[in-house]
Structure 1
Amino acid sequence: MSGLKLFRTDTTNSGMIEVMPRLAEIEADVQGLVETHMETLLGVRFLASEYSTGPVHGGRIDSLGIDENGAPVVVEFKRGTDAGVIHQGLFYLSWLMDHRSEYQHLVRDRLGVTVAAQVLWSAPRLICVAGDFTRYDVHAVREHRRSIDLVRYRYFGTELLGLETVASVTGLAAGPGAARRRTPEMARVRTVDGAMAELAAAVDEVLLGLGDGITRVQRKQYRAYQRLRNFACVCPPQQTKLLVYVKADPKQVDLVPGFTRDVTGLGHHGTGDLELQLRSERDLARAEDLLRLSYAAA
């Protein structure tokens, strides 16, 4: 966004007028706006604002939330550039990991018992929203073992808010040997037809190749591919097909029976209202434009 220029059509003079970017007057302005629309802007369900960490730690977490995959999220805001925002956020993330029961009670009170029981503690996230970041900030997040997103904001005029992901780093699963542990999905891939396992690997390669800063989150029922928000969810391979859910508007897509399906309002694993049914790498090639569309929207 640092190089982005936004122009408005001037119908009176048949010209173009540049809409100048600006920062919030005070930090609370951008925090309040994002908290009000957190699910739309960040893909995170809002839980609490200015959450106290108690008398011992003596701090307040700007915002607490839970993302589309059930991962706990700490969101910290800064009006401009602040070298301490990452360290402050990591301090609160560490506090959160030591107070899991308290967080789950908060989730239960706000969103219900079912959501609280499915919190994904292996993938906690820190999202820092600020006016800007330095190259040292971008380097610092790559040195940590946590999932961290640096998001730059700008107001344009009085009606537009821009968000740009400056850096996104995937944390490692908690616990020794986590990377070697067989997940239910991995076990199932080995039991299905070899062609379906190869197709699943090809889908993984295509999704990770769509751009930088892609996070892969493994849940029991699906694997999510995420920028700031999910853009694709891949279910474990079936005997003859692989189901992928993407965030494209089914009403804007020419649905093809046996290939694309509108699942708006229908229960399914993962997120997204458009279901892709892939049976071969040819289907994957047909689906690439929809995958790119969903990635761009995330």
Structure 2
Amino acid sequence: MSGLKLFRTDTTDSGMIEVMPRLAEIEADVQGLVEEHMETLLGVRFLASEYSTGSLHGGRIDSLGLDENGSPVIVECKRGTDAGVINQGLFYLAWLMDHRAEFENLVRDRLGVTAASHSLWSGPRLICIAGDFSRYDVHAVREHRRSIDLVRYRLFGSDLLGLETVASVSGGMQVARRAWRQSVAQAAADVQGAAMVELAGAVDEVLLGLGDGVNCVERKTYRAYQRLRNFPCLCPPQRSKLLVYLKFNPKDVDLVPGFTRDVSGLGHHGTGDLEVELRTPRDVERAQNLFRASYAAV
């Protein structure tokens, strides 16, 4: 991790012992660790490992998955620095876009019919996980019109893994954006609804301003703000309120009726167990600490 130092407290010695970062012994160790805990680490449901693209295409995708918004995901892992990982991943993304039916059959077999029918093809993602990336890699992904995340990893001791997002860009999504805008336009049909649309703009500004690497993924029923994983989801404005769902444990919050609600186990659009109800600019101010905590948690 760039500049990060990790220490373990030790009361029998000097009080602090530095835990030295290291790379994996072999590339398969990184891939295996990521695949085993993919949903926790990346917010992606694991589908397949070493997936063959066929004899004509001649390749094997390290890992395939489906993220929490329904976007197909390719994960490519490298032990150290590999100048070809981005081009390799883009090569596989092109294959994936040409084999949608095959991917959806895989999703249907592993996750069920509902998950397959909600696949979001407007923004397939490539996540590259490696020991490091060059400045040329970072520049390259920002020039592409694809959704690409570059993630640096380090192992600490025998039981700690660190992930750092080096670069994150979103591409495509035009169909989803149109659906979102239609939902917003319907809400703005009267004066009260227009006020909620304006309030949604204020929430959007706050969430995008929380830090670097925040991308928007738009579906008809919600807009997800993502930093590898979703941290809040904003639903289209209703006539007199906005609903935001946060990746935050409701048990860690003093719930306020009419403002915050535990929705774990309840069906709703988007992801997250804490519902925040916003009606006025004052509510947006009250919610900012919760927004920051949700951002920090991912």
Is 1:260 matched with 2:260? yes
Name the residue aligned to 1:162. Answer: 162
Distance 2:48 2:226 in 1: 23
Distance 1:211 1:68 in 2: 21
Name the residue aligned to 1:239. Answer: 239
- Cα deviation, residue 180, structure 1: 6.6
- Cα deviation, residue 194, structure 1: 1.8
SS of match in other structure, 2:90: helix
Name the residue aligned to 1:205. Answer: 205
Name the residue aligned to 1:72. Answer: 72
Q: CA RMSD in A?
A: 1.4
Distance 1:262 1:213 in 2: 28
Using structure 1 for the length normalisation, give the TM-score: 0.97
Is 1:87 matched with 2:116? no
- Cα deviation, residue 181, structure 1: 7.3
Name the residue aligned to 2:48. Answer: 48
Q: How does 1:1-298 map to 2 (within 5 A)?
A: 1-173=1-173, 183-191=181-189, 193-298=193-298
SS of match in other structure, 1:54: coil
* Runs (4+) off by over 3 Å: 178-184
- Cα deviation, residue 285, structure 1: 0.3
Aligned letter for 1:191?
Answer: A
Distance 1:184 1:246 in 2: 24
Q: Give the unaligned 5+ runs of structure 1.
A: none
Contact 1:188 1:236 in 2 (8 A): no
SS of match in other structure, 1:167: strand
Using structure 2 for the length normalisation, give the TM-score: 0.97
Contact 1:255 1:261 in 2 (8 A): yes
SS of match in other structure, 1:267: coil
Q: Give the unaligned 5+ runs of structure 2.
A: none
Q: Residue deviations 1:165-190, cap 9 Å, x none?
A: 00001113368xx8777743233232
Aligned letter for 1:105?
Answer: N
SS of match in other structure, 2:56: helix
- Cα deviation, residue 11, structure 1: 1.3
Contact 2:152 2:164 in 1 (8 A): yes
Aligned letter for 2:136?
Answer: Y
Cα distance change, pair 87–111 in 1 and its aligned pair in 2 (3 A): same
Distance 2:79 2:143 in 1: 24
Cα distance change, pair 250–217 in 1 and its aligned pair in 2 (3 A): same
Contact 2:173 2:218 in 1 (8 A): no
- Cα deviation, residue 14, structure 1: 4.4
- Cα deviation, residue 13, structure 1: 1.8
Distance 1:3 1:91 in 2: 32
- Cα deviation, residue 10, structure 1: 1.1
SS of match in other structure, 1:55: coil
Aligned letter for 1:75?
Answer: V
